[in-house]
Structure 1
Amino acid sequence: MNSAHSTRASTARFVTTHSVLSLDARHPLVAKSLVDAQEMHRTVMSGFRGWVQDGDLDARSQMGVLSTWSVDLKAAALVLVVQSRVPGDWSRIPRAAFTTAPDVITVDRTFKAGEVVGFRTVVNPTRSRPARPAAEKVRGTRSAHTTPEHVKRWFVRRLQGDGEPPTAEDGVVRIGATADADALGIRMLPTVSSGHRGKPVRIGRAEIRGSLTVTDPETLVGVLASGLGHARAYSCGLVLTR
């Protein structure tokens, strides 16, 4: 183990706010959010007006806003979980859209090295394809993984064993924990999209569930606060632990 890593703290504290919104999927605002990724982003961000200047390009990251949602089509119910550094104000969502009042929870938890925690996350697992023809200073295109096995490999690359640094040699940012890859539950989710303002968005998604063994609490808390992977503005990347 290198000396820089050996000095890292064996515990780290995570403090945030969770808003749990139970919504009627038949309400026009909710139905529109379900079929348009940009509208879902707008619904989430409607709870945080006034905290930063209007039009600020990194408003979401400044406020630590991450979200995830699930829908029960039989019950016509949408559950939206929003994490933030500041409390959300959900009064701008019509009262008729709620099935129950919003539940705003303060999360204050300390993680310890060696602790085992259950987790769930919805991610946008991508790979970069090189530009064709290959050229210097030309970025490749990102495309989403489409099979559970590829998603598992994407996630396993981000696991961090004891003594490993937070960033791998190839630049992959790790998550401060390890896991039994064979015990991970992976489910491919429907792609979400938006054609808002002439900028088409298509986001491949996958749900990952399982247990993590904490190896680097500070790094794990950083991932919990900032999210994992791409498309964090579109309800991907929030890691929920229990």
Structure 2
Amino acid sequence: MFLTRFRVNTARPGARRLLSSPQAMHAAVMSSFPHILPSDTPQPGAPRVLWRLDQQARAEVLLYIVSPERPDLTHLVEQAGWPAAAGPDNPGWQTRSYAPLLDRLTAGDRWAFRLTANPVHTIRRKEGEPRKITAHLTPIHQMGWLLDEKRQQRLGFRVCEKPAGRRLLPEGTTHQKRPHPGDRYELAIRDTRSLAFDKTRSPGGRRDKPVTVVTVTFEGRLEITDPDALRRTLTQGVGRARAYGCGLLTLAPLTPKTP
């Protein structure tokens, strides 16, 4: 497995086109692997190509890719990078082996994490209608999706709780009747986006229905409960819409907080 980081040159027209279309970005990412066809579907339980866009500042956007093969992002550098600055020692992206991090995961260890996901649930609007997959739209329900006990067990971690002294109320809530999980847990929502785009025309010229995906970027701290399950999470992704930039969980060492 490999972890890759690519800085997007947001001033270039090609970059703006990719950033405006998750489908175009997905196609560009998948084109980075000569041995993986765009139509290939990973076997159940097998590692897959995951990607995520992180906007650090208005003009600083980073593309992260986790993949079973080492990618070649030459085409992305030409479309959306700095091709004139690329050279033998600096191709325009950084790739490193993911194995050292995966191998050091141990139960009880704590890490900072970031995850962009598509939190959804199923609802039935009218009696007798089939249940429909619907996005969670409020921060309380979006956090509740990630904090679900069964989901965290499958993913191999639990989100850490805040010390009692850092909670707004001793119970860890901001409202008596409607608990706010963000006050109890080391968890924050950094970004929420609603992406709407048209899919590629189907054979014969028929246009598919527009796709709408609500993405939520979570940041926080987690404690590993099942290292093997967490390795699967890191290499297979979390939740739905993984072709559209969702599902990639990344870890970072915790840094001591300054007083």
Q: What range is the shorter-chain TM-score in?
A: 0.7 to 0.9
Find the counterpart in structure 2 of residue 22 from structure 1: 7
Find the counterpart in structure 2 of residue 55 from structure 1: 39
Cα 1:129–1:188 shift into 2, 3 Å: farther
Q: Quote the Cα distance in structure 2 between the aligned partners of 1:94 and 1:177.
A: 36
The worse-fitting range, judged by mean Cα deviation, of 86-95 and 38-47 is 86-95
Matches within 5 A, 1:155-170: 155-158=146-149, 166=153
Structure with max Cα Rg: 2
Instruction: State the shift of 1:131 in Å.
Output: 6.6
Answering whether residue 108 of structure 2 is matched by residue 98 of structure 1, we say: no
Consecutive unaligned residues of structure 2, counting only runs of 5 or more, are 86-91, 162-183, 202-206, 253-259
Q: Quote the Cα distance in structure 2 between the aligned partners of 1:202 and 1:122.
A: 16
Answering whether residue 206 of structure 2 is matched by residue 195 of structure 1, we say: no
The worse-fitting range, judged by mean Cα deviation, of 124-133 and 84-93 is 124-133
Contact 1:176 1:219 in 2 (8 A): yes
Cα 1:184–1:73 shift into 2, 3 Å: closer
What amino acid sits opposite 1:175 in the alignment? L
Aligned with residue 82 of structure 1, among 65, 78, 87: 65
The worse-fitting range, judged by mean Cα deviation, of 151-160 and 33-42 is 151-160
Find the counterpart in structure 2 of residue 111 from structure 1: 105
Instruction: State the shift of 1:63 in Å.
Output: 5.8
Find the counterpart in structure 1 of residue 135 from structure 2: 144
Instruction: State the shift of 1:237 in Å.
Output: 0.6
Aligned with residue 22 of structure 2, among 25, 28, 37: 37
The alignment-based identity, stated in percent, is: 25
Aligned with residue 117 of structure 2, among 115, 123, 126: 123
More strand by share: 1
Find the counterpart in structure 1 of residue 225 from structure 2: 215
Q: Quote the Cα distance in structure 2 between the aligned partners of 1:128 and 1:160.
A: 15
Instruction: State the shift of 1:27 in Å.
Output: 1.6
Instruction: State the shift of 1:186 in Å.
Output: 1.4
Instruction: State the shift of 1:95 in Å.
Output: 2.5
Contact 2:107 2:224 in 1 (8 A): yes
Question: Number of paired residues?
Answer: 211
Q: Deviations over 1:78-102 (max 9, x none)?
A: 2100110100011222536214611
Aligned-CA RMSD value? 2.5
TM-score, normalised to structure 2's length? 0.73
